[in-house]
Amino acid sequence: MSLDLINNLINGLKENDFVQNFINELTDAFKNNDLSNNTKDNILKQEDVLYQVVDIFSNGAYLQNTETNKVAKETDIPKDVLDKIKNDSILRFKDGQYIYEKELTR
C-alpha cells in the first residue's frame, strides 16, 4: 500500500513541469561546466608553480596550489617523490613532472 503511494508521488513529480524544467536546467549546467576535468586542470600541473602537500594517500597526495590556495587530488606523482615527501612538503611542477623542493620545505 505505501509503495504505491511513493510510486504515485514520484510519477507525479516527473510529470510536474517545474520539477522537470529544473532537472533539465541542472543537467545542462553540469554538462556545460564539466566540473570533473575543469577543476583539476586549473589547479594542478601549472609550469613552475609551487604546491604544498596537504595530505598523502597510497598512490598520491592532496596538493595546495600556493598561488591560488586551491586544493586538488593528484595521483600523477612519481613513486620516488612520494617516498620522500610528507605533509607540508613543497613540490614544484617543472618540465612536466613534480619535483620535491627539499630546501623550500624546511
Q: Which CATH number fits domain 40-105: 3.40.50, 1.10.3470, 2.40.50, 2.60.120?
A: 2.40.50
pTM for this prediction: 0.60
Please give the full DSSP string across the chain, using - where no structure is assigned: -HHHHHHHHHHHHHH-HHHHHHHHHHHHHHHHH-HHHHHHHHHS--TTEEEEEEEEETTEEEEEETTT--EEEE----HHHHHH--TT-EEEEETTEEEE-HHHH-
How confident is the model over 37-43, as a mean pLDDT?
Answer: 47
Report the share of the chain in percent with pLDDT over 90: 43
The larger pLDDT score, comparing residue 6 to residue 100, is at 100
How confident is the model over 12-26, as a mean pLDDT?
Answer: 70
The larger pLDDT score, comparing residue 98 to residue 41, is at 98
